[in-house]
């Protein structure tokens, strides 16, 4: 059993913790939290060990939250720490992981040089084998990489031009905006997403533009992909249909928006109504000569969770990528094909 | 003096009416309205003649609104009618314009076959000369055409690939949504905007994808344009700077969103805080070989107004495009260069 702990129990951390609990080859040692907010209370209610910084012990005890030890204790007792602290904080914690000689998975909010390798399970699992520090790329980059690496099975991908329409805030973030504006993010081109894709697919010609829209549910990507040969809509749909972690939304089900995708997730009983797959609008797949177009939705809160799990396996020497992906998918209910 | 009337006094109609009042060569006969809502009261307050369908006379009189006659009276006394009725209703009114032997300008919500020509002042003014029926293309298509025809001065435009992020509703539309979702519009590719551009630029290779975002202020376009030769950022900015009806937003003014563009319009004292120009984020202009990228905002409520005015001139035989555009621009306060 791989002993895993999660440093940070926010949007990503709590989902990775749930996912670890579902793995047959992993044990969740506990999670680290700095403030005793509702997520700490929920973790406690779920029976998850809480570790806190030395300086926070009093604050947690005052509100009646039982703690299992300090963050240092947690790291020391882990084989792998999943760092899910806020952007940039992971790099500060790296020293602790190094001093304790513990492996760590970082998130996409950290700079790529925090780790030995940036990671996408469908693209470069083997590069993470036995590495000490691996960075799972961000939600948008994870979706781009899953899609591009899958499209690579149709024909060689020569060029990607993409628009990313980002959700403004997560549902729980009550202080973030905008609530009525479109915000280029950034106004300069290319957006960082293209560069981040290049941390994994180093030679890909990719340019992305990004804006923020006032919604909390999901991102959307609108891609224009140029291949080295003529491609057909049928071939692309066939690959998408046969790639778990990509699901298809068909128009006859009358799911026409991100809100309706998540409503389906709620009705299907998915934990936290998460959509861990890239959700492709089947109708949007369009080809013209060497070019293809596709529109898909990305559940920013959860899409990186399976990649975190696979990264842990790769770092601890599990060298069968297909089996790792298969275990992760089946334990987390991840699908391929049509969602309904 | 060209006697002009406006059929429909909603978002577009009321703005076209204001614009006609500002033209030295046009006289506003009046506007037609079917329901006595706040816009009818406002028109009355502004001293604009109200014409109504026979069947609505009583309703208007009951709320104390004075009417100047019927819609038929209005059409009969006009040289040109600007039809700003809701999508599809203009085609029904065409019979009245034909029977009365009156010229009519239609809006982009009508099918292109409603008119002899689809119109964009910067692209094909001369095609509308002396025509009886001209269709000013929609807000999104107007912005696309202004931008593409301007970019054509840099080098031949070979290919346009664009994403359109549409505002969900106008500020006054209290019953429309979504308020928290991204909605592919449509999920199929290409969106109708590409086809609509082709009603004016018949041979252009253009594919557009569109989604709706929950905002009321402006649309945004994110374009990828391929030219027949290598292009430079400087050349593109130079053309944009020298093209009235396109304004540039520079980052040092810290205008980073559609909300802030409209705040500038309010502070500059623009009527209705309208932005009649395509508002290009200067930072977004990026080139790579034969390709250019650009992001701009489109004020859906007002961008087609100057094109309506120029269309009236072209249809009534004014054959000097540059002078028409110059008069329209100076009377409506339309600018080029940096907005601030």
Nearest to A207 by CA among B150, B77, B291: B291
Q: Model confidence at B256, in pLDDT bands (50, 70, 90)?
A: very high
pLDDT (tens, 9 = 90+) of chain A, 340 residues, equals 999 999 999 999 999 999 999 999 999 999 999 999 999 999 999 999 999 999 999 999 999 999 999 999 999 999 999 999 999 999 999 999 999 999 999 999 999 999 999 999 999 999 999 999 999 999 999 999 999 999 999 999 999 999 999 999 999 999 999 999 999 999 999 999 999 999 999 999 999 999 999 999 999 999 999 999 999 999 999 999 999 999 999 999 999 999 999 999 999 999 999 999 999 999 999 999 999 999 999 999 999 999 999 999 999 999 999 999 999 999 999 999 999 9
Answer whether A313's CB lies under 8 Å from A25's CB: yes
Q: Does A216 touch chain B (CB under 8 A)?
A: yes
Taking a contact as any Cβ pair under 8 Å apart, which residues of chain A between 251 and 280 contact chain B?
A: 251, 256-260
How far A194 CA sits from the closest chain B CA (Å)? 14
Catalytic residue among A43, A139, A197, A225: A139
Residues A113, A115, A116, A120, CA torsion sign: negative
Say how far apart CA B167 and CA B143 lie, in whole Å. 14
- Interchain proximity B186–A288, CB inside 8 Å: no
Chain A: residue whose CA lies nearest to B160: A224
Specify the residue for token string 């593409």: B148
Say how far apart CA B9 and CA B36 lie, in whole Å. 11
Read off the pLDDT of residues A55-96 as tens digits, 9 standing for 90 and up: 999 999 999 999 999 999 999 999 999 999 999 999 999 999
Chain B: residue whose CA lies nearest to A283: B188
Read off the pLDDT of residues B75-134 as tens digits, 9 standing for 90 and up: 999 999 999 999 999 999 999 999 999 999 999 999 999 999 999 999 999 999 999 999
Say how far apart CA A135 and CA B77 lie, in whole Å. 72
Say how far apart CA A219 and CA A278 lie, in whole Å. 10
Cα-flanking dihedrals φ and ψ of residue B27, to 5°?
-125, 130
Q: What is the mean pLDDT of chain A?
A: 98
Structure ipTM: 0.94
Whether B149 is catalytic: no
Domains of chain A: 2-137+304-332 (3.40.50.720), 140-303 (3.30.360.10)
Nearest to A89 by CA among A52, A71, A114: A114
Residues at the binding site of A for D-glyceraldehyde 3-phosphate are 138-140, 193-194
Answer whether A93's CB lies under 8 Å from A83's CB: yes
Tell me the helices (H) and strands (E) count for chain A, helix number first.
12, 17
Catalytic residue among B139, B169, B249, B315: B139
Read off the pLDDT of residues B217-251 as tens digits, 9 standing for 90 and up: 999 999 999 999 999 999 999 999 999 999 999 99
Structure confidence at residue A37 (pLDDT): 96
Answer whether A42's CB lies under 8 Å from A57's CB: no
Specify the residue for token string 């040692």: A29
Q: Does B78 touch chain A (CB under 8 A)?
A: no
């Amino acid at each position: 059993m791989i002993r895993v702990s999660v440093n940070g129990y926010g949007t990503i951390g709590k989902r990775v913790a749930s996912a670890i609990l579902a793995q047959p080859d992993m044990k969740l040692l506990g999670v680290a939290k700095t403030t005793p907010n509702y997520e700490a209370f929920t973790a406690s209610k779920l029976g998850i060990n809480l570790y806190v910084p030395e300086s926070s012990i009093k604050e947690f005890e005052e509100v009646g939250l039982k703690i299992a030890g300090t963050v240092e204790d947690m790291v020391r007792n882990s084989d792998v720490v999943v760092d899910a602290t806020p952007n940039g904080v992971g790099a500060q914690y790296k020293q602790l992981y190094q001093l304790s000689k513990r492996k760590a998975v970082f998130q996409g909010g950290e700079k790529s040089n925090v780790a030995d390798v940036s990671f996408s399970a469908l693209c470069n699992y083997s590069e993470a084998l036995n590495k000490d520090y691996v960075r799972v790329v961000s939600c948008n980059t994870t979706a781009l990489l899953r899609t591009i690496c899958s499209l690579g099975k149709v024909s060689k991908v020569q060029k990607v031009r993409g628009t990313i329409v980002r959700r403004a805030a997560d549902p729980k973030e009550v202080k973030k905006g905008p609530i009525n504006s479109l915000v280029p993010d950034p106004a300069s081109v290319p957006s960082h997403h293209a560069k981040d894709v290049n941390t994994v697919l180093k030679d890909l010609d990719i340019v992305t533009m990004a804006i923020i829209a006032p919604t909390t549910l999901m991102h959307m990507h609108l891609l224009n992909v140029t291949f080295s040969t003529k491609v057909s809509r049928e071939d692309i749909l066939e690959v998408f249909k046969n790639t778990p972690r990509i699901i298809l939304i068909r128009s006859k089900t009358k799911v026409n928006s991100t809100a309706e995708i998540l409503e389906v997730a709620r009705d299907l009983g998915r934990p936290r109504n998460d959509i861990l797959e890239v959700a492709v609008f089947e109708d949007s797949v369009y080809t013209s000569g060497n070019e293809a177009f596709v529109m898909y939705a990305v559940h920013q809160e959860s899409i990186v969770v399976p990649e975190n799990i696979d990264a842990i396996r790769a770092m601890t020497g599990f060298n069968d990528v297909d089996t790792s992906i298969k275990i992760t998918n089946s334990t987390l209910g991840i699908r391929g094909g049509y969602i309904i």
